[in-house]
Amino acid sequence: MYFWYICLTVPHDAHLYNRLEYLNEFCLIVMQHLLIFSIHGINADPYAQWDIGIATMGVTAFVFIVNLAALVFLSIKKLLFWLKVRKIKANHF
């Protein structure tokens, strides 16, 4: 339900932040379904539980890497913009 809400309301001004929000929420939904299947009370095959655990760790690593890459990209972009503004201001004085 929250995923539908953020898709309809577009909570951020920047398009990249909205896409990150969509990806994070979608991966949380996937992880919730994976964890439901890994509950020990369902008497699943241990190898299947192992595979579900590996998939959960993979989704977690994927979300972490994507968010870290976005953070680094946006930080470099802001730094380059700041240097450009600083250079322009230095040329005017």
pLDDT at residue 34, rounded to an integer: 83
Tens of pLDDT, residues 35-60: 887 776 567 777 888 888 899 999 99
What's the domain range around 87? 2-92
Note the pTM of the prediction, 2 decimals. Answer: 0.75
pLDDT at residue 41, rounded to an integer: 56
Number of domains in the chain: 1
- What is the spatial distance between Cα 7 and Cα 40, in angstroms, rounded to a whole number? 34
Residues in the chain with pLDDT < 50? none
Nearby residues of 27 by Cβ (< 8 Å), 6 or more positions away:
59, 62, 63
pLDDT at residue 40, rounded to an integer: 63
Question: Which residue type, as a one-letter code, is found at position 72?
Answer: V
Contact in structure between 11 and 2 (CB atoms under 8 Å): no
Residue 25: how many other CB atoms lie within 10 Å: 16
Residues in the chain: 93
